[in-house]
A = this chain, B = another copy of it.
Amino acid sequence: MPGIRHIAEKAGVSKTVVSVYMNNPTTSRASSATKARIDAAVRELKFRPNAIARSLSARKSHVVGVLVPLNTPLSRSLFMSEMLSGLESLFFQGGYSMLFPPTEGRNSSSMVRNQLDRASGYDGLVLFGTRFCTIDDMEANISELSAAGIPFVVLNMPTLKFSVNQVSFHTPPSAGAARFLLEMGHRRILFMAGAPRAADSQAEVRMYRAALKSFGLDWDAELVVYGNYEHQEARAAMGEALRRGVEFSAVYCLTDAMALGVYEALAEAGLHIPADVSVVGKNDSFFARFMNPPLTTVRVPIFEAGVRAAEILVNAMEKDEAPRKVILNNELINRLSVRVKK
């Protein structure tokens, strides 16, 4: 591996000139004759400046670390993929690489700490909340990052009081979905949540209860069920609720994948959608429209959230702006899986 020193020697110039020229081919700090000699040496030795050395020396890496405390492959989740795509599109456009440190650690906080160790020194960070984080975890992670003194933005967490860069969603979707179903006349709405301890599920359950209350309805613990965000587990949870004899005329699912499982469990029980049971999903995953019947779902602007977060971080890194919060709106996509309850 040739270094800048070899180029300098071969071209008979100083490292300074080589460096300046390579970083700015149109510089006037090198004569065209010098440039030609450098070019020749570079070509001959197949020189490529070491990005790590550059980063250290220039105190600018053009790399952002993405910290996701999740011990399951990132891209396996449609939600994650979509958000990462948003980040990617803006970071790449701005010339930033994305660095994903390994996910070591028994819990979300030790995982984030390890990831931070691996990303320290880079230009900025994106910190994700995930289903493996409790609210306490999230707060601990944020204070860890704050102490590190690197610009960062927080994504996929409930809207927080802290004065940090953050992108979040306006109303937890369950409020909108529950209200919609209530307005359609449903009174017994089964809520297929994710995991009991996950921050998002807890927040959603809270919103769901509030929606019921605003309609003067009682809260029935039996109506909350957990499908762990996934298709198969939601199917099982739904099947079990059915066997227990829980009564309901509508189901709201915290992910479209779980709605898929609900569809199956309902079909097995001989129930029709929406004739017997109405179903609402969340995320408007691309397959939602292909379900049978097409799924009514709450679209959260996931990709846009990624884009906005990246924008905020780039501004923080390049113009060190003050912390900003962006809150995006949800939208109910009404397809064919809900009907008025008579």
Contact = CB atoms under 8 A, between A and B. Distances in A.
Interface of A: 1, 46, 48-53, 55-56, 61-63, 73-76, 80-82, 84-86, 88-89, 91-104, 116-122, 147-149, 260, 287, 290-292
A101 to B, nearest CB: 5
A48 B120 contact: yes
Given A48-B120, A63-B99, A92-B102, 14 more contacts: A48-B116, A48-B117, A51-B121, A52-B52, A52-B61, A73-B88, A74-B75, A74-B85, A75-B75, A95-B102, A97-B118, A99-B100, A287-B290, A292-B292
Contact of A76 (B85, B119, B121, B122): B85
A103 B85 CA distance: 13
Contact of A49 (B75, B104, B117, B122): B117
Given A116-B48, A147-B46, A98 B100 contact: yes
A7 B63 CA distance: 26
B48 A52 contact: no
Contacts of A100: 88, 97-100
Contact of A92 (B89, B103, B287, B290): B103
Nearest to A149: B1
Number of copies: 2
Which 6 A-B pairs give the minimum distances between C-beta atoms? A73-B85, A75-B81, A50-B121, A92-B102, A52-B121, A97-B101
Contact of A88 (B56, B61, B75, B99): B75
Contacts of A96: 102
A62 B118 contact: yes
Contacts of A287: 287, 290
A84 B88 contact: no
A321 to B, nearest CB: 19
Contact of A260 (B99, B118, B290): B290
Contacts of A93: 102
B97 A97 contact: no
Nearest to A63: B99
A63 B50 CA distance: 14
A232 to B, nearest CB: 11
Nearest to A55: B52
A193 to B, nearest CB: 22
A83 to B, nearest CB: 9
A103 B97 CA distance: 9
A93 B71 CA distance: 10
A84 B96 CA distance: 19
A288 B120 CA distance: 42
A148 B149 CA distance: 35
A110 to B, nearest CB: 14
B102 A91 contact: yes
Given A81-B81, A118-B97, A73 B49 contact: no
Nearest to A46: B147
Contacts of A98: 99-100
B48 A148 contact: yes
A188 B55 CA distance: 58
